[in-house]
Structure 1
Amino acid sequence: MPLIRPPRPEDRPAWERLYAGYAAFYRVDQTPEMRARVWGWVIDPAHEVEARLAVAPDGALLGLAHFRPFARPLSASTGGFLDDLFVAPEARGQGVARALIEALRAETAARGWSVLRWITADDNVPARVLYDSLAQATRWLTYDARP
């Protein structure tokens, strides 16, 4: 199993490669400036967005997870939202995604959050097989309205 830990300043180049791979997977145009902004968020302890990295015994980064708290007014609670989860292609099938999610579930419990929630594309079948083994799919559809 990989070590799951917060990012360190020296992780930036490897994190950028992983995050660029994540953007490419979802066919999202992402610039170096966008990655720089997100990196600034995840290493700033005052920012709401945090990260966990999956690290191999040799120190190579295998995967990343970005998460944050979110208010749940209807239940008068706070939940955790997993925004981004990505595993390097060469590390897939080795339990890296499961380890990242389980680490975030532990964070959820430690922080007293009521739920850990995430979304994925409906055609992301390999990920959905894992997600179905770890969590319950909801009946909610997601909508995006442009400003």
Structure 2
Amino acid sequence: MAGQIVIRPVGEDERAAWEVLWNGYLAFYKATLAPGASDVAWQRFHDPAEPMFLLGGYVDGKLTGIVQYLFHRSSWTVGNYCYLQDLFVSESARGLGLGRALIEAVYEKARAAGASRVHWLTQTTNTQARILYDQVADNSGFMQYRKIF
């Protein structure tokens, strides 16, 4: 039976709980960040002048999922777009609807901010997450190219 799900901003005093999920997300994608990058991200999430945000998914009061998103300009619209950059739910909370609830919460924030779209990326091999993504959004068919410096 699913516990009570609450979506809310992650408080500044919850860094240790966020780091567990953040590190799980980075491990899933086999990502290594530059020293200090997580510190800067954490500061940005809590700086009202920054367009970066962090919401937590809590099951029975425990932080078990995170979504990190930001607003950015586009040459295609007057208003901003919303980029859902990072979404992660702990293994123990998967299947409870937490990922969907976190995405829907970002949709609400984007609408309230006047954004015309929410978009995100995932690996083509992330089949479990893509089952959900195919239910809550449209696959644009675009591929990402990148050059890392």
- TM-score, length-scaled by structure 2: 0.92
1:43 aligned partner, one-letter code? H
**SS of residue in 2 equivalent to 1:146:** coil
**SS of residue in 2 equivalent to 1:83:** strand
Q: How many Å apart are 1:124 and its aligned residue?
A: 0.1
Q: 2:25 aligns with which of 11, 22, 32?
A: 22
Q: How many Å apart are 1:105 and its aligned residue?
A: 0.7
Q: 1:79 aligns with which of 74, 78, 81?
A: 81
Give 1:33's aligned residue: 36
* 8 A Cα contact 1:64 1:85, kept in partner: yes
Give 1:42's aligned residue: 45
1:7 and 2:14 matched = no
1:114 and 2:129 matched = no
Distance 1:146 1:9, change over 3 A: closer
Higher mean C-alpha deviation, range 114-123 or range 71-80: 71-80
CA distances 1:68-97 after superposition (whole Å, capped 9, x unpaired): 111121233311000000001111111010
Partners of 2:10 and 2:55 in 1: CA distance = 6
Give 1:124's aligned residue: 126
Q: How many Å apart are 1:61 and its aligned residue?
A: 0.4
Structure 2, unmatched stretches of 5+, are none
**SS of residue in 1 equivalent to 2:7:** strand
Higher mean C-alpha deviation, range 69-78 or range 42-51: 69-78
Aligned length: 146
1:39 aligned partner, one-letter code? W
* 8 A Cα contact 1:66 1:82, kept in partner: yes
Partners of 2:77 and 2:47 in 1: CA distance = 29
* 8 A Cα contact 1:20 1:30, kept in partner: no
Structure 1 residue ranges (4+ consecutive) displaced by more than 6 angstroms after TM superposition? none
Q: How many Å apart are 1:31 and its aligned residue?
A: 6.5
Structure 1, unmatched stretches of 5+, are none
Q: 1:51 aligns with which of 49, 54, 69?
A: 54
**SS of residue in 1 equivalent to 2:36:** helix
